[in-house]
A = this chain, B = another copy of it.
């Protein structure tokens, strides 16, 4: 079993901390120790051992353990960490997650020596949140009782803070997560190792990456290229400016290059770059549920005029195209619904219900001039009822090679429709512009796959 596999799929985990030590910098504290222990005991389906330096919780020495744990989670300040990591390595532990930070350079060197001497692998230090695997309940975060829903989106974050933000949003919006890993200072395990593992992970369909810098750019590109043939990679890159790069350097010790260099590298690797956290999550949702889009032509089917116009504007801005519907499609629509002007964007009018949405969506998806469809179904100012939304996944399922996204625009309207079809394969967005960006991500992945397939 590879060490990265142990990182996510250990059978036995040892938590090492102190119910007394509290550091000013680096996060080591009794509270951290207690909350990680709580989460592991509550969620983890394997065996959890606890080693407290004060002997108050669990064991007080490794000799008390009845077996050698596969993974150790370290929550001590640097000096004490090093002592215990070496002890554990000598005891047979193969993989380490170091939650705490604050390592000085000589301490990093010492950590690398232990790693070399014992052939162990290390995530961190300064991972802050460590790892999550929703399949086996592994959860080394200190957010008491928080575990995202099981699903097929994997997150790798260099930053604990961005990772925590992604975790919080994923939980809040019910996004399905396979794995999360917070890399921190990346002294050993890094993007390359994790991408290699996630490429083969059957639970993962989309890989999301927040990075501030990369150690071995060439290898990263190589692994990414290989991966995107099987599943898409989305990247959010932090530290594009001098100021933020300065902070990234002190934050996770990243060596950062110019933003243009990264941009070119991502393109070469077939990685889809996003600009912010929201775009990352929205694109991941689309890619986790829908097929890649094989052409640029978007049709918009809406029960309101204004939001459809905004969607058409967004199609233009994102360099997709408004599909030109065939005459046959137009006449099929207009024959059945004389009040409807079947020019794309199609306005079904405020009184459209399930039947009109279903039939028109079917006509439009059957049109070979259409590569993907954005549906807008508002409730407010319309006669549409949440239950009517069921027709969308039903019709979309007939066309497995054309992506469909749905926009029940608004706040409450979105929630009401989400309750009905939120678990379906149709991704939902609360505003037209977000739905268009989602289609754009599906189109980008279609292009990436096309390039690969074509050579």
- Which A residues are within 8 Å of any B CB, using their own CB? 24-25, 27, 29, 31, 128-129, 141-143, 146, 157-165, 167-169, 171-173, 210, 212, 236, 238-241, 243-244, 246-248, 250-252, 275-278, 302-310, 312-317, 322, 339, 341, 343-345, 347, 349-351, 378-383, 409-413, 415, 430-433
CB atoms of A212 and B309 under 8 A apart? yes
CB atoms of B276 and A306 under 8 A apart? no
Query: In the complex, A167 Cα to B381 Cα: how many Å?
Result: 10
Query: In the complex, A93 Cα to B243 Cα: how many Å?
Result: 63
Neighbour of A410 across the interface among B128, B159, B168, CB < 8 A: B168
Q: What are 17 A-to-B residue pairs whose CB atoms are below 8 Å?
A: A24-B351, A25-B339, A128-B381, A143-B380, A161-B381, A164-B381, A165-B431, A168-B409, A168-B411, A169-B411, A239-B309, A240-B313, A240-B317, A247-B347, A250-B341, A276-B431, A278-B431
Query: In the complex, A448 Cα to B163 Cα: how many Å?
Result: 38
Query: In the complex, A446 Cα to B108 Cα: how many Å?
Result: 48
CB atoms of B24 and A251 under 8 A apart? no
CB atoms of A244 and B313 under 8 A apart? yes
Query: In the complex, A277 Cα to B247 Cα: how many Å?
Result: 32
CB atoms of B165 and A380 under 8 A apart? yes
Interface centre among A29, A163, A168, A276 (most CB of B within 10 A): A168
Q: Distance in Å from the Cβ of A284 to the closest Cβ of chain B? A: 15
Interface centre among A303, A316, A351 (most CB of B within 10 A): A351
CB atoms of B251 and A309 under 8 A apart? yes
Query: In the complex, A303 Cα to B251 Cα: how many Å?
Result: 12
A412 — which chain B residues lie within 8 A by C-beta? 168, 171-172
CB atoms of A305 and B244 under 8 A apart? no
A350 — which chain B residues lie within 8 A by C-beta? 27, 128, 160-161
Query: In the complex, A409 Cα to B169 Cα: how many Å?
Result: 9
Task: In the A-B complex, list the 7 residue pairs whose CB atoms are closest, starting with the nearest.
Answer: A172-B411, A159-B306, A161-B304, A168-B410, A164-B381, A162-B306, A244-B312
Name the residue of chain B whose CB is nearest to the CB of A248: B309
Query: In the complex, A450 Cα to B378 Cα: how many Å?
Result: 41
A210 — which chain B residues lie within 8 A by C-beta? 306
CB atoms of B165 and A378 under 8 A apart? yes
Interface centre among A236, A248, A315 (most CB of B within 10 A): A248
Given contacts A161-B304, A345-B244, A383-B31, contact A310 B238 (CB under 8 A): yes
Name the residue of chain B whose CB is nearest to the CB of A346: B247
A302 — which chain B residues lie within 8 A by C-beta? 161
Neighbour of A343 across the interface among B173, B247, B277, CB < 8 A: B247
Neighbour of A306 across the interface among B27, B163, B171, CB < 8 A: B163
Given contacts A378-B164, A411-B173, contact A29 B351 (CB under 8 A): yes
Neighbour of A159 across the interface among B27, B143, B304, CB < 8 A: B304
